[in-house]
Amino acid sequence: MNQLDAMQIFVRVAELSSFTAAADSLGLPKATVSLAVQQLERLLGTRLLHRTTRSVQMTQDGHVVFERSKDLLADVAELQGLFRQAPATVSGRLRVDMPIAIARDLVIPHLPDFLRQYPALALELSSTDRRVDPVREGFDCVLRVGALLDSSLIARPVGEYRMINCASPAYLAEYGVPTSLADLSQHRLVHYLTHFGGRDPGFEYLDPGLPGTVRHVAMGGVLTVNNSEAYTAACLAGLGIVQSPEPGMRRYLASGELVEILPSHRPAPMPISLIYANRRHLPQRVQVFMSWIAGLLQSRSALDTLPVGHDGQG
């Protein structure tokens, strides 16, 4: 095994703090991964990792080698692609994650054209409404809808979705139509949490007197869900009020299955971002995919008609 391959394997082990996880993400036997790290340690004359039965941690020298290796590998990748402009030269495995609705309704229908343009790419597409860890789970980039919390990652804004408040006619017939925030004390909210055990802050709205200021009204409810499809289904079933991206609700509003309420107290727009690890250079395969999906999302037709999942990922 050459030194660059060994460095790449070491970087993956260090990122995931696991030989097993690194082997799975690279598609290699665990023994091969372990041997590569041992060879690199012998070559450099220092121990790079502390290994125990429960964890793998970098040594002080390991941290230095980790940072230098990432830079060196990025430089090599950039050099290899410096004079390669043809789409056929963009190759390798690309692992991405995005909300279920975006994958189903926008990305997958357009994938044939993208993969015809880059036939040497192998795409692994994860679609989930939970917040994934791009580094630990080995994703090259992640599309997120909602507020961002990962300060260690790079975020590329690609748009935003207008949010609205909705309820079903059956729900409104039973509980009445709220016309003010004060009326919400007599209503139910369908709560949305990506991980159960937390607390939903309640009904969100932009303060009309303080532009850009988000406020909440605590509300009760009988149901908490953790994915966008269940969230919409709960609203259709009359289980409470929801706050969702307007494009995803449009067909239900047009059919009369849902009704918009409190239009003067809408939530803050939900940002759409591409997230990736903080590296000096991105592989060409990641760059072309990010440019392609940003183009899809920024097209007016996509933003106006796409049923986007309410994932609230940060």
Token pair recorded at residue 86: 């043809």
What's the CATH code, domain 3-80? 1.10.10.10
Question: Predicted confidence band at 8 (pLDDT cuts at 50, 70, 90)?
Answer: confident
pLDDT tops 60 at residue 300: no
| H or E, element range at 261 | strand 259-261
Question: Predicted confidence band at 54 (pLDDT cuts at 50, 70, 90)?
Answer: confident
User: What rounded mean pLDDT belongs to the chain?
Assistant: 85
Choose between 68 and 256: higher pLDDT.
Answer: 256
DSSP string, 111-176: HHHHHHHSTTEEEEEEE-SS---TTTTT-SEEEEES----TTEEEEEEEEE-EEEEE-HHHHHHH-
Q: What is the pLDDT of residue 180?
A: 95
CATH number belonging to the domain at 87-161+271-305, selected among 3.60.21.10, 1.20.1250.20, 3.30.360.10, 3.40.190.10: 3.40.190.10
Which is nearest to 155 in space by CA: 272, 275, 270, 271?
A: 275
Q: What is the pLDDT of residue 88?
A: 60
Burial class (CB in 10 A: 0-12, 13-18, 19+), 128: middle
Question: Predicted confidence band at 229 (pLDDT cuts at 50, 70, 90)?
Answer: confident
Report how far residue 302's alpha carbon sits from residue 288's, in angstroms, rounded to the nearest whole number.
19
Q: What is the pLDDT of residue 116?
A: 92
pTM, full prediction = 0.63
Question: Predicted confidence band at 87 (pLDDT cuts at 50, 70, 90)?
Answer: low
Choose between 152 and 234: higher pLDDT.
Answer: 234
Q: What is the pLDDT of residue 154?
A: 85
Superfamily of domain 163-268: Periplasmic binding protein-like II (3.40.190.10)
Which is nearest to 1 in space by CA: 39, 30, 45?
A: 39
